[in-house]
Structure 1
Amino acid sequence: MAFTLATWNINSVRLREGLVSRLLSDEAPDILCLQECKSPVDKMPLARFAELGYGHVVARGQKGYNGVAILSKLPIEDVGDKDFASLGHARHVAGRLENGVTIHNFYVPAGGDIPDREKNEKFGQKLDYLTEMRDWFRDSRPEKSILVGDLNIAPREDDVWSHKKLLKIVSHTPVEVEHFHDVMEAGGWGDVTRADIPEGLLYSWWSYRAKDWSEADKGRRLDHVWATGDIAGSAHSSRILREVRGWEQPSDHAPVFATFDL
């Protein structure tokens, strides 16, 4: 069984219903995982996506903030969610395909602007969230699993436009990167995107603040596709659809794709 999966922080699924529909029509991934849906599940435009062939949905939502959804052409069973760091946020949901593969869809807290938990509660929440992810995966080590989402950390020097300038900027600080790798190690996760594209600058997010985001190209790779070691070798054809960032009224994130032969 081969399937293509994509992950995309959509920054409001209702506002950008047309962009989601365009991606589903143009690229036709078997599974699309969305983050920052900013909508209760009953208000998400799921009927439109079902018309395009994505009738299987596993989602968690809330009004105006957060929210995660898995849209699938393939039958998928809802296998729950976890409220890491007890934030009461819709930031995680998991689904299981008929072949036994579990897909975790995450939206890790951004962490605010100041990388100091004493001065910035949101940064502390981010670190606590990652710590609880680490502990959960350590206690119940996943098998035959894929983890995707906006993890809000660009771990490598070539995942940001300037390693030196971003070392003290939230999303690329050493303490965040350490937590990121702790989660990976605890779950036995492999970075599918970088396994396929091991060298070179690679971004999935460009700030709205730049007048010409493409020309400035001050990006970060915040969106990730991971797989457990037992299936990581089946992944291939990773790509980031940079051009989607240039669509009309876009999300500030671009979709990340990977294909799995299982």
Structure 2
Amino acid sequence: MTFTLATWNINSVRLREALVVALLRNEAPDVLCLQECKSPLDKIPVEQFRALGYTHMIGRGQKGYNGVAILSKLPIVETAAADYASLGHARHIAGRLENGVTIHNFYVPAGGDKPDRTVNDKFGQKLDYLTEMRNAFHADRPEKSIMVGDLNIAPREDDVWDHKKLLKIVSHTPVEVEHLAQAQDAGNWVDVTRQDIPQGKLYSWWSYRSPDWDAADKGRRLDHIWATPDISGAAHGSRILRHVRGWEQPSDHAPVFATFDL
């Protein structure tokens, strides 16, 4: 079985319903994981998605904030929805496909503006969230699993436009990178995107604050696809659809894709 999976922080699925439809129509991934849906689950506009063959959806919704959903052409059964750091946020959903593959969809807290938990509670919440992810993967080592989402951290030097300038900027600070690495190591996760594209600058997010995001190209790779070692070798075809960031009224994130032969 070959299937293609995509992850995309949509920044309001109701506001950008047409963009989701365009992506599904143009690229036709078998599974699309969305973050920051900003909608209760029963208010997500699923009719056009279903008309395109995405007849299965699992998720966790929240009015105006957060929210994660998995749209799928393939049958998928919900298996978990964790509330790490006890934030009461809709930030995780997991489901299992009929081939036994479990898909985790995460929206890790952004962490606010100041990388100091003594003056910024949101940064502390982000670190605590990552710590609890690590602990969960230690306690129940994942197998035959894929983990995707907006993890809100660009871990490598070539995952940001300027490593030195961003060392004190939330999303690329050493303490965040270390926390993410610990969560990755705990689950023995393989970074599929970098497995396929091991060298070079690679971004999935460009700030709305840049009036000409494409020319300035001050991006960060915040969106990730990981897999457990038992299936990571079956992954290929990784790509980031940069041009989608240039669509009308876009999300500030671009979709990330990978294909698995399983």
Q: State TM-score, norm by structure 2.
A: 1.00
Residue 104 (1) aligns with residue 135 (2):
no
What is the identity, as a one-letter code, of the residue corresponding to 1:5?
L
Q: Secondary structure at 2:58's aligned position in 1? A: strand
- Aligned partners of 1:219, 1:5: CA distance in 2, in Å? 22
Instruction: Give 1:78's aligned residue.
Output: 78
Aligned partner letter, 2:35:
Q
C-alpha distance in 1 between matches for 2:47 and 2:67 = 17
* TM-aligned CA deviation for residue 47 of structure 1: 1.8
- Which residue number in structure 2 is paired with residue 7 of structure 1? 7
1:132-147 map, 5 Å: 132-147=132-147
**What's the counterpart of residue 60 of structure 1?**
60
1:48 to partner: Cα distance:
1.6
Structure 1 residue runs of 4 or more that deviate by more than 3 Å after TM superposition: none
% identical aligned pairs: 78
1: distance between equivalents of 2:78 and 2:122?
A: 29
User: What are the residue-to-residue correspondences of 1:23-42 with 2, within 5 Å?
Assistant: 23-42=23-42
> How many Å separate the matches in 2 of 1:50 and 1:108?
28
Aligned letter for 1:164? K
- Gaps spanning 5+ residues in structure 2: where? none
Give me the whole-angstrom Cα distance separating, in 2, the residues matched to 1:122 and 1:80. 24
> How many Å apart are 1:128 and its aligned residue?
0.1
Deviation at 1:80, TM superposition (A): 1.9
Q: How does 1:122-133 map to 2 (within 5 A)?
A: 122-133=122-133
Q: Which residue does the alignment assign to 2:217?
A: 217
TM-score by length of 1: 1.00
Partner of 2:194: 194
The one-letter amino acid of 1:187's match is G
Counterpart in the other structure of 2:153: 153
Q: Which moved more, 1:46-55 or 1:125-134?
A: 46-55
Aligned residue identity for 1:40: P
The more displaced of 26-35 and 46-55 is: 46-55
Q: Hey, what's the Cα distance between the residues in 2 that align with 1:90 and 1:202?
A: 28
Q: Partner of 1:204 in structure 2?
A: 204
Task: Quote the Cα distance in structure 2 between the aligned partners of 1:89 and 1:82.
Answer: 9
Give the equivalent residue in structure 2 for 1:43: 43
Looking at structure 2, the residues matched to 43 and 66 of structure 1 have their Cα atoms a distance apart, in angstroms, of 14
Instruction: Tell me the amino acid that sits aligned with residue 91 of structure 2.
Output: R
Structure 2 Cα separation of the partners of residues 84 and 235 of structure 1: 28
Q: Encode CA deviations 1:112-137: one digit per residue, 9 max, x unaligned.
A: 00000001000000000000000000
SS of alignment partner, residue 258 of structure 2: strand
Distance 2:188 2:210 in 1: 37
Distance (Å, rounded) in 2 between the aligned partners of 1:46 and 1:139: 35
What are the superposed Cα offsets for residues 30-76 of structure 1, whole Å, 9 maximum, x if unpaired? 00000000000010001221111100001110100000000000000
Q: Determine helix, strand or coil for the equivalent of 2:224.
A: strand
Q: Which runs of 5+ in 1 are unaligned?
A: none
Distance 2:59 2:24 in 1: 17
